[in-house]
């Protein structure tokens, strides 16, 4: 379930899915549909105490860079798809 960032923030350093509903990417020749920009990242903070988002090796996304977040599935959740982990 997607949670609005203005309503609730994830715990710091917890890896989550992040979505920007106001920006879209095009899938090129696969489809003409546009999809919201999604990344995996976490809430970070600098030594000065200012919060920001970190995604992969990129740090410093401003707090308004994303509009929603969602918890990532656990390994136990993924087992419901029939795969061995």
Q: Return d(Cα 60, Cα 72) in angstroms, integer.
A: 21
pTM of the model: 0.71
Nearest to 72 by CA among 14, 9, 12: 14
| 8 A C-beta contact, residue 28 and residue 34 | no
Average pLDDT of span 22-49: 68
- Total domain count, the chain: 1
Q: What residue numbers bound the domain in which 57 lies?
A: 3-81
What are the pLDDT digits (tens) for 36-74? 778 899 998 765 678 888 888 777 788 888 899 999 988
């Amino acid at each position: 379930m997607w949670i609005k960032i203005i309503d609730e923030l994830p715990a710091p350093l917890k890896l989550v899915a992040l979505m920007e509903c106001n920006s879209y990417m095009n899938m090129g020749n696969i489809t003409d549909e546009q999809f919201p920009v999604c990344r995996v990242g976490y809430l970070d903070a600098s030594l000065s105490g200012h919060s920001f988002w970190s995604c992969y090796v990129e740090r410093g996304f401003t707090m308004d860079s994303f509009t929603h977040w969602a918890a990532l599935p656990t390994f136990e959740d993924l087992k419901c798809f029939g795969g061995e982990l």
